[in-house]
C-alpha cells in the first residue's frame, strides 16, 4: 500500500529554491546529502539549476510519474499545489508548512480545501504541518535537519510513527548515539488524511519492520486504532507513548463512573486490552521498541542474573522483584545440580546463587559456560547478563558469546560505561543484541518481553477455546 | 429527544434477565397491608426525576419491622407525594464494589471496575476495558486495582472473585445487546460476599 512512500522512484519538490535560507532549498539539499537514489524534480517557475538539478516550471511539465511531491510553500498556497498534484496523479503529498488547523479556523478551512481536492482521488496527503518522512532503506529524508547539529539513525527494524515532528527528530537523534536503527519514520503532523491506523496495518506486513512504536497526542479514531492494533500485535509488537495523561477530559456525565473515567484511565485499559505496551518517556518508547524487535517474547517470569559486579546483581534483583520500585518479576531458583556446575566454573568467592556473580575474576569463558548452564536450567525463563568490560579477563569476544546466546532463552544485556562500554553497546547493536546502558533500562526491557509473552499466551489460549 | 433516566426497578428487572442477582423487592405507590419480604428492608423513592436519591434523603436503610416501615413510609410519602417507592430486602454486608459503563469519546463503550464506597473517589482505584470484554479482561480488571488483595483473602475477608468476573461479563453482554443505547450505567454498590455478588443500587441513562 505505502510501498512508493517508503521506496519512492521519483520525488518532486514544489517551491524548490536556490536561496539557501528557504525550506525549498534545504529539502533538495538533504535529499542529495542523504544519498537518495531516485529521480529528483525541483519545481520552480524561475528557470534555475539547484544543486545540479534543473528546475521545472510546473508539475505537469515533468514527463515522469511522481511518487512523492513535497510541498514547501506557505499554508495559503498549499491547496492549489495539492490540486496540481492530483492532476498529475501524484501518489503522496507531503505538506511541510504549518499555519493550518493548529492556528485556528482560517487554517482549518485550508485543511478542508485540501481534503476536498483529494477526495475520490488516488493522491494521499501526509500532514500538513509535518517534517515528513525519514526512510533509511531508500535514503529519503524530508526533515529540515542540519547534519552538523543532529544525527539520524541508520537502517533498522523499528517503525516509528509520531504525531509530533520535533519529538520524533530529537528521539531519533538520541537513539543514533547507541547505533539503534529504524525501518522508517513518519510524522503525521495535523493528520488530515494519512493516519496511524493505516500505517500500523502497513508495517504489520513490512518485511524490514519488527516492532512499531508510536508517539500519539490524540487518536484519530480510537476504536479503529484498538481494533487494528489488537490484530497487528499478534504479528508485531506495538509500543505507544501517549501524552496528555494528566489532562482530565471534560466529560458530560451525571453518574459516578463518568466522573471516575479520566481519558487516561480508559486509554490505559484499552492499550492493555489490545496488548500494546505503554511507554511513559521517549527513552522507554525506543528501548521497548528495540528489545521487542531484537528479542523473542518471554513466557515466564523467572529471571537469572549474571554479573561480574556484585552490586549490580543485588540492585538488579531488587528492581526485578519489587512491585513498588520495580517490575514485580521473580528471581529464578537455580537447581542444586546446576548450582554445582556453576560453582565448578567460577571462583570460590563468587556466587552460584542467583544473582550469579563471576566477580572481577570472571572471564569471557566463564560467561560462556554459565550461560550454557542457565540455558539448560528448567527453572530459568529469561536471563539478564551484565557485560562489563572494566576488568581484564573480559574481552571483546564476550559479544560473540552473547550473539551466540541469542539462540537461547530470551536474554537482555546491560552494558555500563562510557568508553569500552559504549563501544561494546554499538557492537552489540550491530548484531541485533538488545543491550542497554543502565540497570533500570535493562530490567524494564526484560519486563516488556514478559508482558508481550503473557499477552500472546493469553490470546493463543483464547484461540484454542474458540476453536 | 433527551436521554432518559431509567427507574431503578426497571434496571434491576433488566439485570435479572441476564442472571444478575438483585435484592428481592416491590414497587408501590402506597404501602400494602401484607409484605412478602424479609425484614430488615430498605425504602427508596423511585422516580426518574431523582437520580441521586440519597442526596435528597430518598433512601432509608435497615427498617426492622412492619410498624417501623409504616411510619417511615408515611414520612417519605409526605416528602415525595408524586413519586413511587421501592421496598427491598436489605442485603447482608460484604465488600462493596462499583461496576460502571461509559461512552468514551475516543474509544466508545467502556466498562469500569473499582472498590465501592468513599474510597473509590478518594483513590480513583478503578480499571477500565473496552466493551466487549472476555473473561481474561475481567480478571485483569480486578487484578489491576490496588485493593485487589481484598479478593485474595486479605484479613480473612471472603469475597467471591469469580462472581465479580461473571458479573462483569454479563454487564458487557447486556451493553452489547443494547446496541449502543446505554449512555451511562452505574451499579453502585454491588455487594460481594462469599456466596456471590448482588447489585444493590443501579442507575442507567438511555439514549432514546
- B26-81: pLDDT as tens digits: 999 999 998 899 999 999 999 888 888 888 889 999 999 999 999 999 999 999 99
Whether A143 maps to a domain, the answer reads no
Q: What pLDDT is stored for residue B122 in this prediction? A: 76
Give residue-wise pLDDT tens across range A421-455: 999 999 999 999 999 999 999 999 999 999 999 99
Of A158 and B124, the one with more pLDDT: A158
pLDDT category, A250, cuts 50, 70, 90? very low
A277-281, A354-358, B6-10: which has the minimum mean pLDDT?
B6-10
Q: Are residues A78 and A117 in the same domain?
A: yes
Given A131, A163, A186, the domain boundary residue is: A131
pLDDT at A466 over 70: no
Q: Are residues A44 and A101 in the same domain?
A: yes
Give residue-wise pLDDT tens across range B181-200: 999 999 999 999 999 999 99
Set of chain A residues whose Cβ sits within 8 Å of the Cβ of B124:
260, 262, 265
Set of chain A residues whose Cβ sits within 8 Å of the Cβ of B141:
269
pLDDT at A253 over 60: no
Q: Are residues A264 and A307 in the same domain?
A: no
| Residue A95 domain boundaries | 1-131
Q: How many domains does chain A have?
A: 3
Whether A144 maps to a domain, the answer reads no
The predicted model gives A123-149 an average pLDDT of: 94
Q: Are residues A44 and A157 in the same domain?
A: no
Q: What is the CATH number of the domain that holds A206?
A: 3.40.50.261
Distance in Å, alpha carbon of A345 to nearest chain B alpha carbon: 42
Cα–Cα distance for residue pair A194/A190, rounded to 1 Å: 10
Q: Are residues A257 and A339 in the same domain?
A: no
Picking from A196, A255, A324 by the largest number of B CB atoms within 10 A of its own CB, the best residue to mutate is A255
Record: contact B128-A266, CB cut-off 8 A? yes
Q: What is the CATH number of the domain that holds A91?
A: 3.40.50.720
Picking from B186, B188, B199 by the largest number of A CB atoms within 10 A of its own CB, the best residue to mutate is B186
Mean pLDDT score of chain A: 94
In chain B, the domains with their CATH numbers are 24-89 (3.30.1490.20), 95-206 (3.30.470.20)
What is the percentage of chain B residues whose pLDDT exceeds 90? 77
Given A238, A271, A294, the domain boundary residue is: A294
pLDDT at A465 over 70: no
Q: What pLDDT is stored for residue A258 in this prediction? A: 72
Record: contact A255-B98, CB cut-off 8 A? no
Q: What pLDDT is stored for residue A68 in this prediction? A: 98
Q: What pLDDT is stored for residue B48 in this prediction? A: 85
pLDDT category, A251, cuts 50, 70, 90? low
Given A131, A162, A177, the domain boundary residue is: A131
The predicted model gives A15-22 an average pLDDT of: 93
Q: Are residues A377 and A411 in the same domain?
A: yes
Q: Are residues A87 and A233 in the same domain?
A: no
pLDDT at A406 over 70: yes
Q: Are residues A423 and A339 in the same domain?
A: yes
Record: contact B104-A266, CB cut-off 8 A? yes
A222 and chain B in contact, CB less than 8 A: yes
Distance in Å, alpha carbon of B67 to nearest chain A alpha carbon: 35
The predicted model gives A172-193 an average pLDDT of: 97
Q: Are residues A256 and A379 in the same domain?
A: no
Record: contact B130-A270, CB cut-off 8 A? yes
pLDDT category, A262, cuts 50, 70, 90? confident
A190 and chain B in contact, CB less than 8 A: no
Q: Are residues A303 and A448 in the same domain?
A: yes
Q: Are residues A312 and A205 in the same domain?
A: no
pLDDT at A464 over 70: no
A65-79, A359-373, B140-154: which has the minimum mean pLDDT?
B140-154
Whether A233 maps to a domain, the answer reads yes
pLDDT at A246 over 80: no
- Chain B residue with Cα closest to A221: B106
Q: Are residues A305 and A446 in the same domain?
A: yes
Whether A464 maps to a domain, the answer reads no
Give residue-wise pLDDT tens across range B145-160: 988 888 887 788 888 9
Amino acid at each position: 500500500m505505502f510501498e512508493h512512500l517508503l521506496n519512492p522512484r521519483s520525488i518532486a519538490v514544489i517551491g524548490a529554491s536556490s536561496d539557501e535560507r528557504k525550506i525549498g532549498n534545504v529539502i533538495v539539499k538533504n535529499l542529495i546529502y542523504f544519498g537518495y537514489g531516485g529521480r529528483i524534480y525541483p519545481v520552480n517557475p524561475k528557470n534555475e539549476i539547484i544543486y545540479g538539478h534543473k528546475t521545472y516550471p510546473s508539475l505537469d511539465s515533468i514527463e515522469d510519474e511522481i511518487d512523492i511531491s513535497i510541498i514547501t510553500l506557505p499554508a495559503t498556497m498549499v491547496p492549489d499545489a495539492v490540486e496540481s498534484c492530483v492532476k498529475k496523479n501524484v501518489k503522496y503529498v507531503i505538506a511541510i508548512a504549518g499555519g493550518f488547523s493548529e492556528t485556528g479556523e482560517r487554517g482549518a478551512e485550508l485543511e478542508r480545501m485540501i481534503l476536498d481536492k483529494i477526495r475520490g482521488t488516488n493522491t494521499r496527503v501526509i500532514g500538513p504541518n509535518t517534517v515528513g518522512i525519514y526512510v533509511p532503506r531508500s535514503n529519503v529524508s524530508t526533515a529540515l535537519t542540519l547534519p552538523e547539529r543532529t544525527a539520524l539513525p541508520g537502517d533498522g527494524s523499528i517503525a516509528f510513527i509520531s504525531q509530533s515532528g520535533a519529538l520524533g527528530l530529537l528521539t531519533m537523534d538520541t537513539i543514533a548515539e547507541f547505533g539503534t536503527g529504524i525501518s522508517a519514520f513518519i510524522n503525521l503532523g495535523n493528520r488530515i488524511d494519512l493516519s496511524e491506523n493505516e500505517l500500523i496495518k502497513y508495517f504489520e506486513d513490512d518485511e524490514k519492520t519488527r516492532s512499531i512504536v508510536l508517539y500519539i497526542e490524540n487518536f484519530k479514531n480510537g476504536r479503529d486504532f484498538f481494533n487494528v492494533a489488537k490484530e497487528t500485535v499478534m504479528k508485531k509488537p506495538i509500543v505507544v507513548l501517549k501524552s496528555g495523561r494528566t489532562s482530565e477530559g471534560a466529560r458530560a456525565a451525571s453518574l459516578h463512573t463518568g466522573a471516575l473515567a479520566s481519558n487516561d484511565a480508559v486509554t490505559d485499559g484499552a492499550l492493555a486490552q489490545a496488548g500494546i505496551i505503554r511507554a511513559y518517556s521517549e527513552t522507554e518508547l525506543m528501548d521497548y521498541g528495540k528489545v521487542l524487535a531484537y528479542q523473542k517474547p518471554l513466557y515466564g517470569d523467572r529471571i537469572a542474573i549474571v554479573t561480574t559486579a556484585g552490586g549490580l546483581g543485588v540492585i538488579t534483583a531488587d528492581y526485578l522483584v519489587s512491585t513498588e520500585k520495580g517490575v514485580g518479576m521473580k528471581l529464578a531458583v537455580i537447581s542444586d545440580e546446576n548450582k554445582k556446575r556453576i560453582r565448578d566454573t567460577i571462583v570460590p568467592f563468587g556466587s552460584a546463587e542467583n544473582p550469579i556473580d563471576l566477580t572481577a575474576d570472571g572471564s569471557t569463558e566463564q560467561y560462556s559456560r554459565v550461560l550454557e548452564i542457565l540455558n539448560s536450567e528448567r527453572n530459568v525463563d529469561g536471563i539478564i547478563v551484565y557485560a562489563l568490560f572494566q576488568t581484564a579477563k573480559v574481552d571483546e569476544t564476550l559479544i560473540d558469546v552473547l550473539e551466540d546466546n541469542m539462540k537461547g532463552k530470551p536474554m537482555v544485556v546491560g552494558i555500563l560505561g562510557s568508553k569500552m562500554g559504549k563501544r561494546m553497546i554499538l557492537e552489540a547493536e550491530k548484531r541485533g543484541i538488545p543491550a542497554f546502558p543502565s540497570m533500570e533500562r535493562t530490567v524494564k526491557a526484560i519486563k516488556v518481553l514478559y508482558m508481550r509473552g503473557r499477552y500472546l499466551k493469553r490470546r493463543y489460549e483464547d484461540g484454542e477455546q474458540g476453536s | 429527544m433527551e436521554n432518559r433516566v431509567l427507574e431503578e426497578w426497571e434496571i434491576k428487572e433488566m439485570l435479572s434477565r441476564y442472571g444478575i442477582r438483585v435484592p428481592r423487592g416491590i414497587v408501590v405507590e402506597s404501602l400494602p397491608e401484607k409484605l412478602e419480604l424479609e425484614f430488615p428492608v430498605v425504602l427508596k423513592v423511585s422516580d426518574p426525576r431523582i437520580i441521586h436519591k440519597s442526596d435528597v434523603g430518598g433512601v432509608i436503610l435497615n427498617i426492622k419491622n412492619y410498624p417501623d416501615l409504616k411510619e417511615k413510609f408515611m414520612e417519605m410519602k409526605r416528602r415525595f407525594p408524586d413519586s413511587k417507592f421501592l421496598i427491598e430486602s436489605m442485603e447482608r454486608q460484604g465488600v462493596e464494589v462499583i461496576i460502571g459503563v461509559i461512552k468514551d469519546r475516543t474509544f466508545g463503550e467502556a466498562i469500569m471496575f473499582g472498590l465501592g464506597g468513599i474510597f473509590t473517589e478518594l483513590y480513583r482505584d478503578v480499571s477500565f476495558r473496552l466493551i466487549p470484554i472476555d473473561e481474561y479482561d475481567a480478571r485483569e480488571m480486578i487484578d489491576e486495582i490496588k485493593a485487589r488483595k481484598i479478593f485474595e483473602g486479605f484479613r480473612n475477608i471472603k469475597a467471591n472473585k469469580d462472581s465479580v468476573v461473571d458479573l462483569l461479563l454479563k454487564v458487557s453482554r447486556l451493553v452489547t445487546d443494547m446496541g449502543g443505547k446505554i449512555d451511562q450505567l452505574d451499579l453502585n454498590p454491588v455487594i460481594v460476599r462469599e456466596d456471590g455478588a448482588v447489585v444493590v443500587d443501579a442507575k442507567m441513562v438511555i439514549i432514546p
